[in-house]
Amino acid sequence: MRRLSFVVVLLAAAAVALVQAGNQPIRARNGMVVSQNAIASQVGIDALEDGGTAIDAAVATAFALAVTHPTAGNIGGGGFLVHREASGDAIAYDFRELAPAGASATMWFEDDEYSFQRHHMSHLSVGVPGTVAGLYLAWEEHGTLPWRRLVDPAIALARDGFPVTHALAASLERAVQRMSQHPASVAQFSKDGVPYEAGETLVQPDLARTLERIADQGPAGFYAGETARLIADEMRANGGLITEADLANYEAKKREPIRGTYRGYENISMPPPSSGGIVLVQMLNVLEDYDLASFGFRSARTVHLITEVMRRGYADRALHLGDPDFNTDMPIDRLTSKAYAAEQRASIDMARASVSSPTSFTWPAESPETTHFSVVDRDRDPVSLTYTLEFGYGSGIVVPGAGFLLNNEMGDFNAGPDTTNADGLIGTEPNLAAPGKRMLSSMTPTIVARDGQLFMVTGSPGGRTIINTVLHTILNVVDFGMNIQEAVDAPRFHHQWLPDRINYERHGLSPDTTALLESRGHALREVGGQGVAEAILNNAENGLLEAALDGRAADGGAVGTDR
Ligand code: GLY
């Protein structure tokens, strides 16, 4: 209780720092955390002020988000962390969920019929979680504070509770309706079925006990013993596949980040099993040869060009990418080369939209949930971390007695072999399910450097839109000279090859611009918000860290420290 009060008091004291003044960023000298939950950002800053590294702060923030941002913060899901050291060395931690040993490419078929429900909403949609293993691996290599110190704030928040905001109350009420067939989920997120109201305290005692086991035992507190038994029991009782052996065998992996250059900036991002880094670098390589600033921000010419670049990047994503441990022949070097970018430029007609192949498929809908946070410490070491349960609240299944949500990440595998059709199913080979395989992702945790120094950390939730949201944030700063808050605030648009359509944020394009784009052959649709960019810029001119809080989501927090 004492610890929770401390957090709440600090938040009150930090309130001024959390309020935006126009489109100015939030500034601090010695550390910054920006996430989709202000309490969790403060937990990260506490770790930095206790002498922790950016990895320490990221681990503490991630565990806190698993309590305070249950939509996507998690211990029952998975994700990616990209870290750069002052030396310029960088590493990517892959803690993506994977398919259990009993999985197969046709597991979502019932009587020869593909079942969306089985694929996305059942116990068969749950992948073996990776978050605890990934956070532990990163901490073992780059943490300095004790492991327990990093889990303790989350334990206090789960055990003693935290105040429900208006946004969380509304979100929980909707979620509990969806989870009504899972009594443990209803018990966790409502008061015996009665929705929480803003200002009430959400207490999660089962989650606190699971976090205690993780604090005491490290990954063994999750992948073995009581937690593993509770997960496996829930699976056995409901036709799920994950066993104690699947959990015991889970391994987080270290991967070489994808690197690219853009106008003298170096981009360091997530390699497969995410498509994010490759598609981002590919798109920036193509754009490098155009003077976007002279084309003008959101002019029809600029939107046309970026759309054509997105179209090509997403087509390659679909055709080539999947788990690198199962797809050893992915053409990564070619896709990220400047020579390939030149070939792609040659195929772009500035007067006319290309046509995404009508004989190919339409992408299925993908949830815009997931969450990203960025951290920079006193030494300007950054962490860019995106993790997810896939849908908001994942599968909606809280493990009885363990108090945490299971993901439905198996939905990110393709539907099954030879299923590609005009209704939006995909059957391409690289991303079919197989035992031990990781499903393809769009998460794009990214670090940008310049002249050997940290320049920017960014990332976003948003399903397939993530890569384009990260692209916009980088272009807005590098090409259009925006400060980081302006870059995050600026309206976004998205094209993903198929469906062959530009989705643009409300009021993001003027009617004359959309008319010009239509005359070039583009289809357009106005949509709600796209992503929630969590970005920090290391401003060499004033020596300060500058963070942007993306107003597209409620409850976010950019918290800095001068200590
Ligand atoms: N589940 C969202 C992603 O991995 O991209």
State how far the Cα of 279 lies from the Cα of 513, in Å rounded to an integer. Answer: 26
| Residue 444 CA, ligand 1 centroid: distance in Å | 9
Q: In this structure, what token pair is assigned to residue 545? A: 């860290």
DSSP assignment letter at 258: E
Look at residue 192 in the predicted model and tell me its pLDDT.
95
Helix, strand, coil % in the chain, rounded to nearest 5 = 40, 20, 45
State how far the Cα of 549 lies from the Cα of 298, in Å rounded to an integer. Answer: 22
Question: CB neighbours (10 Å) of residue 291?
Answer: 7
State how far the Cα of 555 lies from the Cα of 551, in Å rounded to an integer. Answer: 9
Residue the block writes with tokens 């593993």: 228
Looking at the chain, how many residues does it have? 563
Q: Catalytic one among 370, 386, 419, 473?
A: 370
| Residue 13 CA, ligand 1 centroid: distance in Å | 35
Look at residue 279 in the predicted model and tell me its pLDDT.
98
Look at residue 427 in the predicted model and tell me its pLDDT.
67
DSSP assignment letter at 452: T
> Does residue 419 contact residue 107 with C-beta atoms inside 8 Å?
no
Nearest CA residue ID for atom 1, ligand 1: 390
Nearest CA residue ID for atom 3, ligand 1: 441
Ligand 1 cavity residues, CB under 6 Å: 370, 388, 390, 412, 441-443, 463
Nearest CA residue ID for atom 4, ligand 1: 441
Is 61 catalytic? The answer is no
Cα torsion 454, 460, 463, 464: sign: negative
Pocket test for ligand 1, best of 388, 439, 496 (most atoms within 8 A of CB): 388
Q: Quick one: which H or E segment has residue 82? A: strand 78-84
Query: In Å, what is the CA distance from 513 to each residue of 267, 510, 528?
Result: 30, 5, 18
State how far the Cα of 298 lies from the Cα of 295, in Å rounded to an integer. Answer: 9
Question: CB neighbours (10 Å) of residue 144?
Answer: 13
DSSP-derived pairing of the beta strands 258-262 and 31-35: unpaired
Pocket test for ligand 1, best of 120, 441, 469 (most atoms within 8 A of CB): 441
What SS3 state is found at 429? helix
Q: In 221-251, which positions are buried (b, 16+ CB within 10 angstroms) versus exposed (e)? A: bbbeeebbebbbebbeeeebbbbbebbeebe
User: Helices 300-320 & 511-519, crossing angle to 10 degrees?
Assistant: 60
Look at residue 9 in the predicted model and tell me its pLDDT.
33
Report angle CA 422, 427, 431 to the nearest 5 degrees. Answer: 135
Q: Is the peptide bond before 257 cis (omega within 30 degrees of 0)?
A: no
State how far the Cα of 393 lies from the Cα of 370, in Å rounded to an integer. Answer: 9
Nearby residues of 15 by Cβ (< 8 Å), 6 or more positions away: none
Q: Which atom of ligand 1 is nearest to the CA of 409?
A: 1
Choose among 263, 301, 270: nearest CA to 475.
263
Q: Quick one: which H or E segment has residue 446? A: strand 446-450
> Does residue 466 contact residue 386 with C-beta atoms inside 8 Å?
yes
Question: CB neighbours (10 Å) of residue 268?
Answer: 25
Pocket test for ligand 1, best of 321, 409, 496 (most atoms within 8 A of CB): 409
Residue the block writes with tokens 């789960």: 158
Choose among 404, 368, 400: nearest CA to 63.
404
Q: Which atom of ligand 1 is nearest to the CA of 464?
A: 5
Look at residue 330 in the predicted model and tell me its pLDDT.
94
Instruction: Extract the residue ranges of the chain whose pLDDT is less than 70.
Output: 1-22, 358-368, 420-427
Q: Which atom of ligand 1 is nearest to the CA of 411?
A: 1
Q: Which atom of ligand 1 is nearest to the CA of 276?
A: 5
What pTM did the predictor assign?
0.95
| Residue 390 CA, ligand 1 centroid: distance in Å | 6
